[in-house]
Structure formats: C-alpha cells, structure tokens
Amino acid sequence: MTITAIANLKGGVGKTVVANGLSHAAAAIRRPVLLVDADMQGNSTKHLTGYTTSEPAPNSLADVLDRSTDLPIHDAIFAARREEIHVVPSGFAELQAVSDQLGTKPGGEMSFARALKPVAGDYEHVLIDCRPAIDLVSRSALYAADNLLIVVNPEPDAVDGLNSIQNALEDLAEYMDKVLPIAGIVINKLDGRRNDHADVVSYLKEYAAADGIALLGDPIIQKADISKLTNVGMGFDEHPSNPVWSRNLHNNFIEILEKVAL
C-alpha cells in the first residue's frame, strides 16, 4: 500500500481534480484505491459521494480522528458513485473541530497513521486530499504518508505555495523526524495561450531539476469540462463523448499513478 498526500498551501490549484483523477485511474486499471478527504471544504466528498454539509455522511474522517468516538476507519469508508473507488468523507466543519481538539492531545500528529493501520492490506493506493493549510490534521496526514504529490498552477501565488510546502517538509523532518519524499509535481490549469504561464512552467522545470524533483505527466490544460466531470464524480474515461483530450488526460493520470506507487 502506498499512501500519497496531495497538497499545496495555496488553495484553488486543483488538488481535488488530481486526487479524483488518480482515483478514477486506479479504478480503471483495477487497483484498490481509498481516497481520504482531509480538507474541511470536503470537495472530494461532495463530488465522489454526493454527501454535503446539509446531508453529511453517517460517519467521517472527523469521527475516525476524534478520540471521544475513536471510530474504526472501516466504519467511515463509503463507495463512491464509481463503486471501485472507496472514500473516507471529510466531516466538513467537524474535522476542523477535531483538529483543534487534537492539538491539545499527546501524539496528535500520529492520529492519521494510527487510523490507517487497519486498512494497510486492503488497498494498493491511499490518496489523501489535504487542505491548503498546515494545521494538525495536515501535519498528521503528511506524517502518515509515504510520499507527497504537489499540485501547482502556473501562477506566482501557487509557486509561493510550493515554496511553503517545502518549508513545511523541513519542519516535519526537523521536529518530527519524518523525511517525506516528494513523488513529484503536477502542473494544473495550464492556458497554452498565455506567455506568463509558459514562463512559470519554464521556471518550474528549472526549480524541479535543481531540487531533483520530477514533473509528473503532462501539464493539465485549463478546460471547463475537466471541472464539470470532476464535480459530478466522473472519471475522464467516462466522458459521454469520449473525446481525444479526455482519453489522453485519463492516460496521463494512469502515468502519474504509476510514478507515485512504491
């Protein structure tokens, strides 16, 4: 089982698009996959399961991490709309409350690793959709992960988020004795018509090469249909018209999945 955290400290970069795309890629090639939604916004939860803040899942990651309930993770796993994908819903605002609570408990940073132990033999891939902030739940997710996949837009703010996550990894190594390898960087929301996007991609290539970090797959283009399919919980291999771009994007995610697997 490979546990991959998907993160950037800048919101809106498309972590959920990448997390969902990888989940569908795993399902398509028949690899057992569990997506854990560790973002209080719960976008992966909403898109893949249909659970919302007004109609939440019966159990969630918040219940699993909450020491007052100590719910076994198996009781918080639900099938997505695509049944081969299993999801641990975030719990929305309840997850923030649990994060605040764990901050007062000894070993709070170990909570994620402890929660995932019972499913170690059930899945080939566990994907953690992290929130764009380093709170206790995020640190706990990074501590539990085998590697990190960073999602970046070709925009200055997203590159700043990349630098911030690097700083967070240094803190993880120094203060928690956890060296978390970076599996690679995925570039998302590329507009090929913009020269500034091309400049940022060139910078990212230099940045990655200097640090020995791989750029995984082809940059993902900015396209409305990508968000539309993600929002309804569909994989890119499930596009009703099966266009070339959708097939290529699905194969791109299979390639990225192969690279993050240990």
Report whether pLDDT(158) > 90. Answer: no
Phi, psi at 129, each rounded to 5°: -85, 100
- Tell me, what's the pLDDT at 106? 76
DSSP state of 221: B
What DSSP line would sit under 27-93, residue for residue? HHTT--EEEEEE-TT-HHHHHHH---SSS--SS-HHHHH-TTT---GGGG-EE-SSTTEEEE---TH
Name the pLDDT band for 133 (thresholds 50, 70, 90): confident
pLDDT at position 111, please? Answer: 92
Tens digit of each residue's pLDDT (9 = 90 or more) over 197-251: 999 999 999 988 988 999 999 999 999 999 999 999 999 999 999 999 999 999 9
What global pTM score does this model have? 0.95
**Rounded mean pLDDT of 148-168?**
85
Over the chain, what is the mean pLDDT?
Answer: 93
Helix, strand, coil abundance in the chain, percent, nearest 5: 50, 15, 35
- Cβ-contact 17, 227 below 8 angstroms: yes
> Is the predicted pLDDT of residue 125 greater than 90, yes or no?
yes
